[in-house]
Structure 1
Amino acid sequence: MTNAAPSVLVTGATGGIGRETAQRFVREGHRVAIADIRQDAVDALAEELRTEFPGADVLPLELDQSSVPSVEAAAEAVRGWSGQLTTLAVVAGVLQSEGVPVTRLPVEEFQRVHAVNLTGPFILAKHFIPLIPTDGTGSIVMVASYWGREAHPLYAAYCTSKAGVISLVQVLAGELAEDGIRVNSVAPGNTNTQMHQKHLRDEAAELGITFEEMRDKHWSTIPMRYAGEPHVISDAIFFLASDQASYITGATLDVNGGVVMS
C-alpha cells in the first residue's frame, strides 16, 4: 500500500461493527487508522490486520471521542500519518445502562450516553473536517440507530442521542456540500454483536427466562426474523463512503431488517 491510497479513521474499531468496518476498508486497499478507548485493544487489532493483510498501513490510536483533548491528539496523529483523511467513520457508541422512565433516569446517565453518542461525533467532525479533501472524494459516515428515527419509552438517553446523530448528519451535509464532502449515516437495528448479546443475557436474567427465549422475543419483532451480522453494517458504511454513493448526502440508510415498518 502506498501513501496515495485513501485514508480512513474508524472509531469504535475494536467492537463488532467497528472491527468489520476496519477489515473491509483494509481489504479494499485503504490506509486505516483504528481508534478505540483502550490502546492495548487497538494495538492487538492492528497486529491482526497486518497479519491477515500483509503490507496493510494501519495506525492504532487510543481515542475517547467524548474528550476534546483526545480527539485533538488523534487529529494531529492522523495529520502526521497521512496528511489528510478521506473518510471519517464514526462507529463508536454506547447503550443506555437500563430502561427507566425519565423521572428515574439519572442526569449523569443521560449525559454519559450523549457525551459518547452525540457530543463525540460533533467533536470528531469539528476536528477532522479540516483534514478531509474537498475534491469530491471526502466523506463522513456515522452510525445512528433506528431508535433515532422513532421514540421508545424508557430509553430517553439513547433515543435522543441517536436522533441527534441523524440531525447532525443533515446539518453537516448542508454545510459541506459545496466543499464536495458527503455526510451520511447508517441506522442499524438489532445487530448480532457481543454488545447485543450481553444486552439479551442481562435482560433475560432480569426476567428469569433463558437467553434463547429473550433472543427469540427480540428477533420476532424484526420482519426478517433475525439480527443482522456486523458485516451488513460495515457493508453499508463502505458503500456510503464509496464512489457508488457519490450523489448521496444527508441520508440515513436503514439497515435493520425492516424494523422501521413494524
Structure 2
Amino acid sequence: MVDLGLAGRRVLVTGGTSGIGLAVAEAFAGEGAHIGILGRSSQRLSAAVDELRERHPKLTVVGCVCDISVDSAVQSATNDLVSQLGGLDHLVSSAGISGSLGSPVDQVAAEEFMEVQRTNVLGPFLAIKAALPHLREGTGATYTLIGSDSGFVAVPGMLAYNASKGATVQLTRALSTELYNDGIRVNSVCPSIVDTPMAREDLGVDSFDEVEFPVSKPTDVAWLVLSLASPRSSPVNGVSLIADYGYHARSSFPA
C-alpha cells in the first residue's frame, strides 16, 4: 500500500453531492481525511453526508447548501464548514454545468452562455477566494480544479462549455503562480467523458456500456485528484492533467 499522506487532513469539495465530486469526497475519506461538501441540492447534500458518515463513522463529515456562483453564499458556507472541520488543507472545485449542447453560436443566448461561465469559472474563483485565508494556515495546502479535455479540444455545439474549461486551464496556471509564495499548489484534472448523471443526461443515454469510445469512472478522476493533492506530489504545480486516453494526441487530419 502507498501512504498518500492525507490522513487527518481537512478537505472541502464543491459539487460534492454527486458524480465526480462525491467520488472525490469518498476517496479522501478513504484516506482518513475529514470532509466538507458544498452542493446546490439540499436533498442530494443530505444523502451524500449521510452516506459518507455511515461509511466513515470516525471522520468529521459536514455539508452546506450553497450556490457556488454567489460570493456571499460561498464565503459564508466556506467559513461555516471550515469552522466545523477545524481548519482547511485541501480545496477541490468540482461543481460544474454543461449548459445546453448542440446549438451553433448564433443560437446561444447570452444569458445561457453566462450561466455556464458563472458556475464553471466564477465558481472556482469564488471558492479559492473564500478558502484562501484558511488554506494559508493549512498543512501541505492544495487547490485542485476539475477541468475537462474540452479546455484543449473543441467540437461544434459546445461553445459555452469549451470556453469555460479553457478558462479553467489558465486559471490553474495563474493561481499556481500567484499562490506560489503562500505554499499552495494548484493543479487541475481534465478528463474526457466520465460516467456521471450529468454526462448521461447531456448525451441522452441510460448507460455507456455500448459506446465505442472509452469512458472514465468518477473513481478514476478521484484517484488523480488524490494523487495531485498528496504531499508525495509536491513538485507538481500549475499542471492541467489531461486524462482522455490519449485522444488529444491524435491528429484528425487524414495524413
Same fold, judged at TM 0.5 (above)? yes
Work out whether 1:12 is the aligned partner of 2:15.
yes
Work out whether 1:48 is the aligned partner of 2:51.
yes
Q: TM-score normalized by structure 2?
A: 0.90
- C-alpha change, 1:82 and 1:50, in structure 2 (3 Å) is closer
Report the counterpart of residue 165 of structure 1 in structure 2. 168
Higher helix share: 1
> Which stretch of structure 1 is more off in the superposition, 128-137 or 59-68?
128-137
Report the counterpart of residue 239 of structure 1 in structure 2. 227
Q: How many residues are treated as equivalent by the alignment?
A: 244
Report the counterpart of residue 36 of structure 1 in structure 2. 39
Work out whether 1:130 is the aligned partner of 2:120.
no
Work out whether 1:258 is the aligned partner of 2:251.
no
Residue 71 of structure 1, aligned match among 64, 69, 74: 74
Matched AA of 2:237: T
Aligned partners of 1:183 and 1:249 also within 8 Å: yes
**d(CA) in 1 for partners of 2:139 and 2:34?**
18
Report the counterpart of residue 110 of structure 1 in structure 2. 113
**d(CA) in 2 for partners of 1:135 and 1:190?**
33
The answer for unaligned runs of 5 or more in structure 1 is 203-210
Measure how far apart 1:133 and its partner are.
3.2
Matched AA of 2:223: D
**d(CA) in 1 for partners of 2:86 and 2:60?**
14
**Percent identity among equivalent residues?**
31
Runs of 4+ in structure 1 off by over 4 angstroms are none
RMSD in angstroms over aligned alpha carbons? Answer: 1.9
- SS of the residue corresponding to residue 64 of structure 2 reads strand
- Output one character per residue of 1:52-103: Cα deviation in whole Å (capped at 9) or x when no partner: 1222210111111111121011122034213421000001100121221111
Matched AA of 1:241: A
The answer for unaligned runs of 5 or more in structure 2 is 1-6, 251-255
Q: TM-score normalized by structure 1?
A: 0.88
Aligned partners of 2:60 and 2:85 also within 8 Å: no
